[in-house]
Structure 1
């Protein structure tokens, strides 16, 4: 009889550990999916930028530095990998884009251009989607990391290679650059 109780307890502990393991796997997969969703939105953003730059180029021929900064930031963002590197690259790109959009204030014809307005609206829509996807990813990563660091998750995480995941955040300096109003100089 004692042996059956012991077997029952072992089975119960086994099911419990399997449940914790499966929960960690599920959270890790949700985090990967959320990061993939961000990549889809970022690719759409990266595809819009050359069209926006070309539209502005026709109106603002002497704003070469701003246009080059946007292209450099876009290229850096395209090759960045991992949440931390992509967050930093996207922060720099957002700052460069805000300076590009600010140029429209200096060029009334550009501001009235229907193609520019459409591209600006599409970019704004993509930015909102990226923001929502980033919040979802960071929430999922927080849940995963909390589960992996809590009891009994840390026991299983250490044994089975559940490494902590990175958040998709902007660095403090890049966040300030994004929030700062763009400067238009002539």
Structure 2
């Protein structure tokens, strides 16, 4: 019974109240009391104990059904929680893997910058070689042109592959100069040539070290992005395999 029959119900909730009351009434009128079922059973000669047993069995089945539904709901909730945990773990792993690949890529870039520094230093020695050649052999215009052309090719190179190709041309030009110097005692005796030889040797040694460090960084990076399951993240974010920088003497 309502505590306050004079209480006014807002108009917007009145339809909902009526619908719910109708459902309650239907459920009540469509049901039977135990006494009614027993009386109906006696009319067809069914003993009371069987009616009571049937009522208990039906109640038990309803309880089992509700328990199974509750268990199923708990299982679905558990599956959802596990799924959410897996998604969260995958997101954390993806973020960590991305950062790791980004760091290895940055190390490759930093190592390549050191290689470029030594290549640039080496290319910058070519004008000095030109000056020495012109000072001691003005007729060696072909050698001068080869030196200048190799330096220009290097300055125009951008990628590691292009740098390697340009470096091969620089090597050829420097080798030609060294052969010419070996056949020119006057040039070998000059202090300028001695200083250049010293700088070239030092640059070659530093270049070999930086090339090795760069290739090690490239190998680590490439292995990281090409192994499963890391390659899933690499493909997702567009990480690409980096190029090795071959030894200048090995480049073909």
**TM-score scaled by length of structure 1:** 0.85
Please say if residues 91 and 170 of structure 1, whose CA atoms lie closer than 8 Å, have aligned partners that are also in contact: no
Is the counterpart of residue 79 in structure 1 residue 156 in structure 2?
yes
How many Å apart are 1:12 and its aligned residue? Answer: 3.0
The whole-number CA distance in structure 2 between the counterparts of 1:155 and 1:33 is 25
Please say if residues 234 and 240 of structure 2, whose CA atoms lie closer than 8 Å, have aligned partners that are also in contact: yes
1:24-35 map, 5 Å: 24-35=101-112
Please say if residues 45 and 126 of structure 1, whose CA atoms lie closer than 8 Å, have aligned partners that are also in contact: yes
Counterpart in 2 of 1:99?
176
Counterpart in 1 of 2:166?
89
How many Å apart are 1:16 and its aligned residue? Answer: 2.0
Is the counterpart of residue 58 in structure 1 residue 135 in structure 2?
yes
The whole-number CA distance in structure 2 between the counterparts of 1:176 and 1:164 is 19
Counterpart in 2 of 1:152?
229
How many Å apart are 1:6 and its aligned residue? Answer: 4.8
How many Å apart are 1:170 and its aligned residue? Answer: 5.6
The whole-number CA distance in structure 1 between the counterparts of 2:251 and 2:139 is 27
The whole-number CA distance in structure 2 between the counterparts of 1:162 and 1:12 is 22
How many Å apart are 1:13 and its aligned residue? Answer: 2.8
List runs of 5+ in structure 1 lacking aligned partners: 178-186
Please say if residues 211 and 245 of structure 2, whose CA atoms lie closer than 8 Å, have aligned partners that are also in contact: yes
Q: Deviations over 1:77-132 (max 9, x none)?
A: 11111100000110111121011012111111110111111111111111111121
Is the counterpart of residue 118 in structure 1 residue 195 in structure 2?
yes
Is the counterpart of residue 175 in structure 1 residue 245 in structure 2?
no
Q: Deviations over 1:59-86 (max 9, x none)?
A: 1223221221111011101111110000
RMSD of aligned residue pairs (Cα, Å): 2.1
The whole-number CA distance in structure 1 between the counterparts of 2:201 and 2:148 is 18
Counterpart in 1 of 2:239?
162
Counterpart in 1 of 2:126?
49
List runs of 5+ in structure 2 lacking aligned partners: 1-76
The whole-number CA distance in structure 1 between the counterparts of 2:81 and 2:232 is 26
Point out the structure with max Rg over C-alpha: 2
Q: For 2:192, what is the secondary structure of its paired residue?
A: helix
The whole-number CA distance in structure 2 between the counterparts of 1:14 and 1:176 is 43
The whole-number CA distance in structure 2 between the counterparts of 1:176 and 1:133 is 17
Point out the more displaced range, 85-94 or 98-107: 98-107
Please say if residues 133 and 140 of structure 2, whose CA atoms lie closer than 8 Å, have aligned partners that are also in contact: no
